[in-house]
Each structure stands twice: as structure tokens, then as C-alpha cells.
Structure 1
């Protein structure tokens, strides 16, 4: 199982992320045996990413200082062959966010993009009404647009929601399961992006590893929901279940 592999390898995952979710991401990575580091100052990101197994760029609380660091770290990771993941949080909510995502995509080679349907629409330039960091509403052919984006940027695209969709531009798969409680805790999607980054670095079949990760994360949600109906407890239960799976496997 990929979570057990991550625990054995203990990869360092460099997260340039948003301050709303940094703690949850760090604890989630620790729960599966990865080593998180949340370094986002331009004076150190190139040096930090050089010793990492993967880089996550999350634009949730975007600002100019952080954008500079994202570009520096991403280019350095590319030069060293370190996989880079993009979480384009609320990419279509403002012009600044949309332009920044385009700038990142133009300057950095991403191994994968993990987004919701509204963020996919923004990247694909499909008309959509983004509602803050939520997916919003509109009309989009998810499979077609995700494949186009994957082919355009030569990367894996993961679109998460009630059902998850993953494609590398040639192959594709839907992943079902989970619980709506995941939408009531902030950062569950952001944590998934960080875990996917660790999973990508855990072997030589990244597409298959990411499919397994999406499936396991759905099971984590279901198991956590079966143990509590309270949101605060649910967040803790997610971390507990990630920890259990990485140690005991999917029993």
C-alpha cells in the first residue's frame, strides 16, 4: 500500500502553502510517515527544495512575497528533477489568482494539478462562477477539459469532488466513495494535495499510485465519518485513520 511505502521512505515534502491549512497539512503528512516542511521565504526556498522529495505549491492565501517564492522553488525543483504539485485554490475567484496560476503554469513544469471543478474551469478558460474557495457553479465537460489541461501541460490532472477524476491525458479513471463531511472541514482538499505529492514520490508508477491514494482517502473519510458525527472530532478522526492505514494497511 502506498501509505505504508511513504512511511518506510519518510520523504521530505516541501509545502509552500496557505496559513489556513498549514497545520492540518503538516499533521496529515506526519500521520502517514512523511516529513513536512512549510518554508516560504524567497531567501531559503531554493535551498530547502533541493533536499526535498516533492514540492507542493498551494495558492490559498496568495500574496506577492509568496508568489516570488513559488516561482523560485518551482524552477529549482524542475532543474533538480523534483516533482512539483499545484493546488490552484480559488483560481477563478479573482483576476489576480487566475493570472498567477497562468504565470506558474508558464514558468514551472508541474507533475500534477489537484483542483476542484471550478478551479479546473479557470485553468481551462471555461466560463464559471467561482464562489470564493468553493467550487461554485457553471457548465463544463469535466472529463474533456481535464484531459485537455493534462495534455497541454503534460501532467496528471486530479479533479476532486463527490467523485474524483484523474487523467494523464491518455488514461482516465473515476474514484467513488467518501462522505460530504469532508466539505465541512477546511483543508481536506489541501491535505489531499500534500498526500498526493508524497505518493507521487513514493514509487515509479505515479498514475497508479495516485489512483490508489484517491481511493484510500475516500476510505479514510468513510471510516472517520463512521466513528463520529461531530466536525471537530471528524477532523481528528481523519488524521487517526491516515495514521492507522500507514501502519496497519487496508484491513
Structure 2
């Protein structure tokens, strides 16, 4: 049986995903989770995040448009999730671009037991203290071996690391997977990375094997993007964004045929 068996499992469970995310992507993230079959909630107030995190299937912390108060809320939510055994996904958007972003992401990693870090190579390197140049919040050109980086950061924080790029790398103590699904037009729609972090949370909510859950999330997401890109090839990113939501709602076990996952043997 393929790993895509998790798709009907997710839709049957319809896990509640608590997102503390950025203002740019809130709507897209909510719609993407709904399309896939999960149930999104966005709760930011320090007074309620612990209660919300405690009843969620996963908690996603995204520092895209962070403030001091929001970081406080993220730490509170993360600690509450830890107490209940709820998976926590950290998306360190733009880490490395400013010291506040980098230090905020590092603080969350110090105070919260994070299950998954999902970012581009520059962001992941920055939270680990690797000195790589970052351009804006989308990251710049990164030299070096992303597989080695993912494995190193995974060991450093004792968590699963997902580095997305032309080839996506997923690493934890169980091993390393490479995923070659996806389409370049994803970089022309804001929030595609942020939504992926929430989709990772959704799959982690229904599957305890985090390497499996994250690998399926990344591959399913990439397959949906490929199909949407094919259908809207002549139309541009606006049409792609809408069709991508449609494809997330239609992706199924049968789409395992399009999955491009490679297990890396040490």
C-alpha cells in the first residue's frame, strides 16, 4: 500500500490545525487546509492560544509577520501543545533577514519541543546558526549541501527538518527522503510555502511516523501543484492559485503514481 493512504485517513479525521501565521497568507492557508480536508483555526491572543493548542491535532507557528506579542503567543501555544503531545511545526519565515526574526525562531526552538522545522535552506541554516546570506524573506542563493544541512539541523534540534527547494529534503533520525514533486510557478504565488507547513501539520496530526507524514505532505502538495500548473499553463499565477486549491481537494490515493520520493541510504 502506498504512503498516499494517509489522504483518506486525513479526510476522515478532519484534524483541527491551529495556525499562528502571518497576515499575508491567512486566507490562503485556511482555504488550502479546507480543500485538503483538514479544519483550520487561526487564534493569536495570548489569552486563548493554550486552550486552542490543547485541543488541536497540530499547531503551526509561522513568523512571517511577527511581533513581540505574537512570539509570546507562539511560545505559550507551543508549550501547551507539548503538554498534550500535539505536534508542533515551525516555519521560520525570513529567518536570517533580520536579527529579530532569527532570534525569535531560535527562542521558539529553545522553549518549545518542535516536531518539524519547514523552511528554505537559508531559513533553516539561519535558525541553526549557519552563516548564509538571506535576501528578503524568500531567501537567497544558498551554497552547500541541503541534504547535509537538513540532517545536521535535525540532529541539532532533535526534530524532523523539511527543506524545500528544487528538490525537497526531509530528514530525521529515521533517515532522509528526497521529493522531486512540485512546479516553479509555486514561487510566484505568495503563501505556497506557508500553506505547505500547515499541510505538514495536518498529516502529522493523523500519522505518528513523522518522516512518513512529512514526506507524504510534501509529495501530495507537489503533485497537486504539478496538476494545477498543467491545467493553467497559459493563464498565469492567479489561475494557478485557484486551480491549486481545486487540485488539493481532488488529490487521492491514485495520485501515488505521480509521487517522486527517493529514500537516501546512508
Shift of 1:143: 1.6
Shift of 1:216: 1.4
Q: Which runs of 5+ in 2 are unaligned?
A: 258-266
2:41 corresponding residue in structure 1: 37
1:206 corresponding residue in structure 2: 210
2:263 corresponding residue in structure 1: none
Q: Distance in 2 between matches of 1:151 and 1:206?
A: 15
Q: Deviations over 1:54-84 (max 9, x none)?
A: 1000000010110110011011111111110
Match of 1:237 among 240, 243, 256: 243
1:150 corresponding residue in structure 2: 154
Q: Deviations over 1:138-193 (max 9, x none)?
A: 42332222111111211100000111000003400111032100000000010000
Shift of 1:94: 0.2
Q: Distance in 1 between matches of 2:54 and 2:212?
A: 26
2:81 corresponding residue in structure 1: 77
Secondary structure of the 1:55 match is: strand
Q: Which runs of 5+ in 1 are unaligned?
A: none
Alignment of 1:63-102 (within 5 A): 63-102=67-106
Matched, 1:172 2:208: no
Match of 1:223 among 203, 206, 227: 227
Shift of 1:133: 1.3
1:84–1:112 Cα contact (<8 Å) kept: yes
Q: Deviations over 1:107-140 (max 9, x none)?
A: 0001110010110220222221111111212423
1:196 corresponding residue in structure 2: 200
Secondary structure of the 1:192 match is: helix
Q: Distance in 2 between matches of 1:249 and 1:14?
A: 29
Q: Distance in 2 between matches of 1:193 and 1:171?
A: 20
2:17 corresponding residue in structure 1: 13
1:52 corresponding residue in structure 2: 56
TM-score in terms of structure 1 length = 0.96
Q: CA RMSD in A?
A: 1.3
Q: Distance in 1 between matches of 2:174 and 2:87?
A: 20
Match of 1:125 among 120, 124, 129: 129
TM-score in terms of structure 2 length = 0.91
